[in-house]
Amino acid sequence: MTQNQTSGVLRDARRIVVKVGSSLVTNEGRGLDETAIGEWSRQLAALVRGDGVGAPREVIMVSSGAIAEGMKRLGWTARPKEIHELQAAAAVGQMGLAQMYETKLREHRMGSAQVLLTHADLADRERYLNARSTLLTLLGLGVVPVINENDTVVNDEIKFGDNDTLGALVANLVEADALVILTDQKGLYTADPRRDPAAQFVHEAQAGDAALEAMAGGAGSSIGKGGMITKILAAKRAAGSGASTVIAWGREPDVLLRLAQGESIGTLLVAQTAKTQARKQWMADHLQLRGAVVVDEGAAAKLRHEGKSLLPIGMTAVEGEFSRGDVIAVRDHGGAEIARGLANYASAEARLLCRKPSPEFEALLGYSAEPEMVHRDNLVLMGG
């Protein structure tokens, strides 16, 4: 890849997940860094509006710092060993974290929303779909979701304290174009620069290159937990859905804006698979087909040629038993598989909705929900 192509990764990215680590957010545990959060908020607001960056972007902030801030508020100087104490600290600190982002984004006339997620939420089909719909709705509303781990209910994640993975999972969830991991180093070096003064800076590499894992060490401070290895693995994971990753210094002036303008800052870890291909692969590899719906010619044409969602009115039959969030096939009358996608309705409900227009859904189901059986964002065409 040429310099221009790679620097264009962020310039062309329309949907960006930004992750900031605890040490930056809390000034190495001294307390929430109001200036830094204010700076990121100003840049996030400018990205959403498209000010000075060519085109508006959709951005999601994944922010750590709850435990470190909670410890400060509780007057604890040493990180507790007990998980329930860490969880308590996170609950205390999260209040301040959310409040700070809300205040700072509002100063820049930008709405915000707090979303707390666990890895398990994203492994569960139905919760995955719910989280995805909520985040996409928030992005559509032009507000900035601010995400952290739901530390109250997790054990393993809190022990390892790793929001880099969460950032990647969110990038997968919303099919972001890019993941930006802001940390306390300028990017990736060939060895931990805190320990090895001869370490060389890595400007660019392929996400998933196994050689990178050997370069990355653990966390450099007592506040950060994951270190560089979790960032390298996060880049690999993000690349699975076609997102490239940039690892950069969070205090670099205007880092997000300059990246979005196409400047090369930090370490770029390039995804090798295009987004659409990655999505097809993901549907094919990770998810078992649970059932199918048969559609009429009109619906088949809308899916095949117009990129539309599948509406129940175009469905003539439902096969198999499936739940909301399961992957189903969409077939034409001849039995050819047109597409695969995530079902918004379980099979029993889908049978009730066949051939019905959306205004009738509420009476049929007893509640009002999505007009689509499979939303176009959750659908991949097969054989094309």
Ligand X SMILES: N[C@@H](CCC(=O)OP(=O)(O)O)C(=O)O
Ligand Y SMILES: Nc1ncnc2c1ncn2[C@@H]1O[C@H](COP(=O)(O)OP(=O)(O)O)[C@@H](O)[C@H]1O
Which pair of tokens denotes residue 329?
A: 């096939």
Is 4 annotated as contributing to ligand binding?
Answer: no
Cβ atoms 326, 125 nearer than 8 A = yes
If contact means CB under 5 to 8 A according to the sort of partner, which of ligand Y, ligand X, none does residue 175 touch?
Answer: none
Cβ nearer to ligand Y, comparing 23 with 264: 23
The Cβ-side half-sphere exposure at 214, using a 13 Å CA radius, reads 3
Residues lying near ligand Y in the complex (CB under 6 A) are found at 21-24, 183-185, 188-189, 191-194, 215-217, 219-221, 224-228
Compute the least distance from the CB of residue 322 to ligand X, in Å.
33
If contact means CB under 5 to 8 A according to the sort of partner, which of ligand X, ligand Y, none does residue 325 touch?
Answer: none
Q: Which residues contact 209 (CB under 8 A, 6 or more apart)?
A: none
If contact means CB under 5 to 8 A according to the sort of partner, which of ligand Y, ligand X, none does residue 278 touch?
Answer: none
Asked if residue 165 binds ligand X (CB under 6 A), the reply is no
The residues facing 319 across adjacent strands are: 292
* Options 65-73, 293-301, 321-329, 339-347: segment touching ligand X (CB under 6 A): 65-73
Q: Buried (b) or exposed (e) across 1-20, using 16+ Cβ within 10 A?
A: eeeeebbebbbebebbbbbb
The residues facing 293 across adjacent strands are: 318, 330
Cβ nearer to ligand Y, comparing 173 with 228: 228
Cβ nearer to ligand X, comparing 90 with 268: 90
Nearest to 263 by CA among 68, 2, 6: 6
Compute the least distance from the CB of residue 346 to ligand Y, in Å.
39
Q: Out of 9, 18, 21, 264, name the contact with ligand X by CB under 6 A.
A: 21
Nearest to 353 by CA among 296, 311, 302: 311
Is 165 annotated as contributing to ligand binding?
Answer: no
Q: From residue 331 to residue 350, what is the string marking binding to ligand X with x (rule CB under 6 A)?
A: --------------------
Is 77 annotated as contributing to ligand binding?
Answer: no
Asked if residue 250 binds ligand X (CB under 6 A), the reply is no
Q: Out of 7, 41, 112, 163, name the contact with ligand X by CB under 6 A.
A: 163
Residue 307, number of CB atoms within 10 A of its CB: 10
Cβ nearer to ligand Y, comparing 69 with 184: 184
Rounded CA-CA distance 323/289 in Å is 11
Asked if residue 148 binds ligand X (CB under 6 A), the reply is yes
Q: Which residues contact 346 (CB under 8 A, 6 or more apart)?
A: 322, 323, 324
